């Protein structure tokens, strides 16, 4: 819990204005002090670089000739921002090193590191007139009032580089491109939503935790992507309404979204999301379904690895 609470400012990165992001990029690149995981977990991942972007890569324990394996793209939150190629490994990345987990779910895991938020090249902020802002939820109207959102381009787009990295890994390794998954928490949860919004055709499934999607983006664009979202019901950093409104929109269009709200949980949803084995109504951990299209498998990893692009 301490990792999540001490990183409660993570989600602020999601909502930076393009001016703030450009200022961040003009400063010397951050040298973070360490990973969000123990040394033995860090050492299990190879340290690599792609087009100036540091990333960590975990291979299947055994790669059989002629067999292809899924790829998980793990997006860090704000505490991972920098270029040390350590802080991008957050505590949920320890799951993927567990021997029993790796035996049951053989796959590649890539954890890229961004120097800003998880935006896409070419993204821009619209002119936020009073009339337009009134069309947004109360949660987003409040967030917009709290921050500066001048219209114009955002950043140089770390997610665009991640998409190219996926293609590069698929050329180098036996990656099953029909089973590429994206997940993350806080800023990484927002990045997960943004990834499936920007490129829904790339991802077989997604697991965003405590994230949100900027309100000028329509979730209907990714209605066919199987998604299992998690959010703390008492999150003081990323308002729970950010996920609730995405669920409501996808329910309207009969999308493929499972949404688990965790009653009384604050910004630590990831510790439950990436270990979820079924609802606990007595604790207020309850999953809702946007349509009959949703796979109702109750173990989060069994659910994830059942999803394939070819089945959509």
What's the mean pLDDT in 126-148?
Answer: 88
Q: What would the pLDDT profile of 211-261 be if each residue is shown by its tens digit?
A: 999 999 999 999 999 999 999 999 999 999 999 999 999 999 999 999 999
Name the CATH superfamily housing domain 2-311: Alpha/Beta hydrolase fold, catalytic domain (3.40.50.1820)
Q: Residue 167 CB: number of other CB atoms within 10 A? A: 12
Residue 265 has a pLDDT of: 96
Mean pLDDT on 150-179:
92
Residue 295 has a pLDDT of 97
Mean pLDDT along residues 16-29: 36
Among all chains, which residue has been given the structure tokens 């090249």? Answer: 121
Long-range contacts of 40-44 (CB under 8 A, 24+ apart): 40/97, 41/89, 41/93, 41/94, 41/97, 42/86, 42/89, 44/97
Query: For position 186, what pLDDT does the model report?
Result: 96
Compute the average pLDDT of residues 160-179: 98
Residue 237 CA to chain centroid, in angstroms? 16
**Res 104 pLDDT > 70:** yes
Query: CA–CA separation, 110 vs 182, rounded Å?
Result: 10
pLDDT on residue 8 = 36
Report residue 9: phi and psi, to 5°. Answer: -85, 0
CB 205 within 8 Å of CB 226: yes
Mean pLDDT of the chain: 89
Q: Do 212 and 243 contact (CB within 8 A), yes or no?
A: yes
Residue 156 vs residue 192, higher pLDDT: 192
Contact 237, 210 (CB under 8 A): yes
Reported confidence tier of residue 27, pLDDT bands at 50, 70, 90: very low
Centroid of chain to Cα 300: 15
**pLDDT (tens digit, 9 = 90+) per residue, 66-87?**
999 999 999 999 999 999 999 9
Q: What pLDDT, on a 0 to 100 scale, did the predictor assign at position 311?
A: 76
Place of tokens 């990792």: 3
* Global confidence as pTM: 0.89
Domain ranges across the chain: 2-311
Torsion of CA 299, 236, 13, 217, to 10 degrees: 70
Q: Is the pLDDT of residue 26 over 80?
A: no
């Amino acid at each position: 819990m301490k990792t999540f609470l001490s990183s409660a400012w993570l989600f602020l990165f999601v909502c930076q204005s393009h001016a703030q992001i450009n200022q961040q990029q003009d400063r010397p690149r951050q040298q973070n002090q360490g990973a969000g995981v123990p040394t033995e977990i860090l050492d299990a991942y190879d340290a690599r670089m792609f087009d100036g972007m540091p990333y960590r890569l975990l291979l299947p324990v055994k790669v059989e000739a002629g067999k292809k394996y899924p790829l998980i793209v793990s997006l860090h939150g704000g505490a991972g921002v920098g270029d040390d190629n350590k802080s991008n490994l957050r505590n949920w990345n320890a799951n993927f090193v567990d021997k029993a987990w790796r035996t049951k779910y053989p796959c590649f895991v890539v954890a890229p590191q961004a120097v800003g938020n998880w935006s896409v090249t070419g993204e821009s902020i619209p002119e936020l007139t009073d009339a337009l802002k009134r069309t947004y939820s109360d949660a987003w109207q409040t967030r917009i009032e709290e921050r500066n959102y001048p219209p114009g381009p955002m950043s140089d787009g770390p997610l665009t580089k991640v998409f190219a990295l996926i293609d590069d890994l698929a050329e180098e390794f036996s990656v099953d491109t029909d089973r590429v998954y994206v997940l993350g928490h806080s800023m990484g949860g927002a990045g997960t939503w943004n990834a499936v919004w920007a490129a829904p055709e790339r991802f077989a499934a997604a697991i965003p935790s405590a994230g949100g999607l900027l309100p000028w983006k329509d979730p209907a664009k990714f209605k066919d992507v199987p998604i299992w979202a998690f959010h703390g019901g008492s999150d003081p950093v990323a308002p729970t309404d950010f996920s609730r409104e995405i669920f409501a929109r996808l329910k309207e269009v009969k999308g493929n979204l499972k949404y688990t709200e965790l009653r009384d949980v604050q910004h630590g949803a990831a510790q439950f999301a990436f270990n979820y084995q079924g609802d606990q109504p007595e604790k207020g951990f309850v999953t809702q379904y946007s349509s009959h299209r949703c796979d109702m498998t109750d173990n989060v990893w069994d659910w994830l690895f059942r999803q394939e692009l070819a089945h959509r």
